Copies of this chain bind each other. A is one copy, B any other.
């Protein structure tokens, strides 16, 4: 029952991710270790052998505390120096619709792919259009939208538009609102985005979803308001999707050091749309500046409020504004520390907000 074990043993994948990162970043550390090992390690080769003997290897001298600290620090440094590391594939790319009369048509293909989470760490993913997260869909209140899904997976699927208040037959729950979309089949959703339903929403599988969403079948569905509030006027608009399944701890489908930094110029304002598609809660902590929370699940909070650590639960979306008044490179990570760092350095749910002068 391999599908079940996917969900029952998420730590296995994290361990793999960490091992691969460690392997990659260990090169710098190796030199030092080898030096220490060589210091006394070859005395045996100077002995005069009168008959065949089995040489007794001399153990390497133990590392001093300082040497051990240096070795650990080199692993930490290697990770940070590698950031932002290049990997194949980029998720959450804006998808331009084809227009059919007044209808915005989005074509999605679901298929199984290999996805590079962090350098050299390839995993099996279920993906829309070959991306994890799937392509970003961005529409306006009142738009007529058609989403055409072709299922090239080996199992059935369906799309739920999470946060949108649609007619029931567009809700994407197999056997309740539609039949499952079988392998090889194409299925069409079409609806008008309700006026009054603006905000940060999501689309994702609602069939065998613990596996399908956990391995990549998810994306942002942003509904722009017809009458944005003044606080929404920002210079950059970032989508920030959390996941934590067999792919390890990821932001927008990548783990540190392959996560993408958020970038702004000093004095700019950015909006961050947190979305959690995982199965754990992640308290997101920003260094150097606070976040002003404006929306929950696309709905305005009664009044904006400030924090530096925002608890984001599965299925939730939280929109925040950051006024980038503190120049620098600011760590931005899940504060469940084992999701962000091991003794081999930072990994998983870590990125940075870079405020440039």
Contact = CB atoms under 8 A, between A and B. Distances in A.
Interface in A1-57: 1, 3-4, 7-8, 11
Contacts of A105: none
A1 B344 CA distance: 10
Nearest to A10: B338
Interface string A88-128: 00000000000000000000000000000000000000000
B66 A7 contact: no
A328 interface: yes
A142 interface: no
A174 interface: yes
A173 B287 CA distance: 10
Contacts of A175: 76-77, 80-81
Given A171-B288, A281-B313, A337-B210, A156 B305 contact: no
Nearest to A66: B183
A306 interface: yes
A299 B309 contact: no
A189 interface: no
B68 A154 contact: yes
Given A68-B155, A72-B155, A306-B296, A166 B288 contact: yes
Interface string A174-190: 11110010111000000
Given A165-B289, A326-B168, A3 B343 contact: yes
Given A76-B180, A329-B168, A309 B304 contact: no
Contacts of A305: 296, 299, 301-302
Interface in A125-176: 154-156, 160, 162-163, 165-168, 171, 173-176
For chain A, the bracket of interface size reads 35 or more
Copies in the assembly, this chain: 3
A335 interface: yes
A265 interface: no
Contacts of A338: 7, 210, 279
A285 interface: yes
Interface string A46-86: 00000000000000000001101110110011001100000
Contact of A4 (B8, B309, B328, B343): B343
Contacts of A206: 331
B290 A176 contact: no
A227 B68 CA distance: 48
Nearest to A79: B175
A195 interface: no
Contacts of A313: 281, 283, 309, 311, 335
20 contacts: A4-B342, A65-B155, A69-B156, A73-B174, A73-B180, A76-B207, A80-B175, A163-B308, A165-B290, A168-B328, A168-B330, A177-B329, A208-B341, A214-B337, A279-B337, A290-B297, A297-B308, A299-B306, A313-B335, A314-B336
Return the 7 tightest CB-CB contacts between A and B, nearest first: A168-B328, A315-B335, A302-B303, A299-B306, A309-B315, A3-B343, A210-B337
Given A283-B313, A303-B303, 5 more contacts: A76-B175, A168-B328, A176-B331, A281-B313, A283-B316
